[in-house]
Amino acid sequence: MTKEHFNKRARDWDSDPAKVERARIIAQEIDNFIHPEGKLNAFEFGCGTGLLSYFLRDAFKSITLADNSEGMIEVLKEKIVKDSVTNFTPLLTDLLHGDPPPCCFDVVYTLMTLHHIMDLDKIFRIFYHMLNKGGYLCIADLDTEDGTFHNPQQNFQGHPGFDRNEIMSLLSKHGFRVELYKICTEIEKTVDGKQRKYPVFLLIGVK
């Protein structure tokens, strides 16, 4: 799946009620665990049109929303203007390919983006650099699946979800202490004519 895929889907991204509800659930879990109370600065990696951050906009002092899709960032900018959001900073960037990571943040969070990132060691090093001491890394993504989540026509190149123990071990290797892991919701899809459910976890680690 390429940037072009997400550029094409940007305009109707928010029209899927399941995506909106998933973002709401994950936002509530993050808010309940961290209790930012409008005092912390956050960074969303792979923000898309900003669905997750919209549910967290009153929880944080400021949020930087980053994505490498021009189409997604364009839609996000339009929403920010339309809704007069004053604590969002949209950022078109590719942290994995040359763009220097910004810092420093109290919280970094990401929803359904990590399974697209092949080099986990690199992105976890970047996240660690971006966070203040004691900062939180929140990852919401697919639990291990059998490879059927993405349609073969999408030319997906990434991870078939994540094994709980493996991702916790990798984060520990990069200096994070995992404080929460829970299955929060699931994604329903029709695969080969049958309804399938794919669990989505939330993991929260501390630097």
Q: Output 74 or 12, whichever has higher pLDDT.
A: 74
Say if pTM beats, i.e. exceeds, 0.75: yes
Q: Does any domain span residue 152?
A: yes
For 28-42, 79-93, 141-155, 180-194, which range has the lowest pLDDT when averaged over its residues?
141-155
Q: Is the dihedral of CA 149, 178, 121, 26 positive or negative?
A: positive
On whether the CB atoms of residues 47 and 76 are closer than 8 A, the answer is: yes
Write the pLDDT tens digit of every residue in 103-139: 899 999 999 999 999 999 999 999 999 999 999 999 9
Q: Does any domain span residue 170?
A: yes
Q: What is the pLDDT of residue 83?
A: 96
Distance between CA 170 and CA 148 in Å, rounded? 24
For 2-11, 133-142, 170-179, 190-199, which range has the lowest pLDDT when averaged over its residues?
2-11
Q: Chain-wide mean pLDDT for the chain?
A: 92
pLDDT at 7 over 70: no
Write the pLDDT tens digit of every residue in 78-98: 999 999 999 999 999 999 987
Q: What is the pLDDT of residue 45?
A: 97
User: What does the DSSP 8-state code read for residue 160?
Assistant: S
Tell me how many domains the chain contains: 1
At residue 175, the 3 state secondary structure works out as: coil
Q: What is the pLDDT of residue 5?
A: 60
188-205 mean pLDDT: 92
Q: Does any domain span residue 114?
A: yes
Q: Does any domain span residue 202?
A: no
Distance between CA 167 and CA 177 in Å, rounded? 12
Taking CA atoms, 141 is separated from 6, 62, 114, 144, 163, in Å, by 17, 23, 7, 10, 11
Q: What is the pLDDT of residue 3?
A: 56
* CA quadruple 46, 47, 53, 54: dihedral, nearest 10: -160
Distance between CA 180 and CA 80 in Å, rounded? 31
Q: What is the pLDDT of residue 56?
A: 98
Q: Does any domain span residue 36?
A: yes
The domain that holds 88 is classified in CATH as 3.40.50.150
Domain that holds residue 134: 3-197
Residue 100 pLDDT grade (very low, low, confident, very high; cuts 50, 70, 90): confident
Tokens 């109370």 correspond to 37
Q: Does any domain span residue 75?
A: yes
Q: Does any domain span residue 207?
A: no
Q: Does any domain span residue 52?
A: yes
Q: Which two tokens stand for residue 113?
A: 């983006």
Distance between CA 94 and CA 67 in Å, rounded? 7
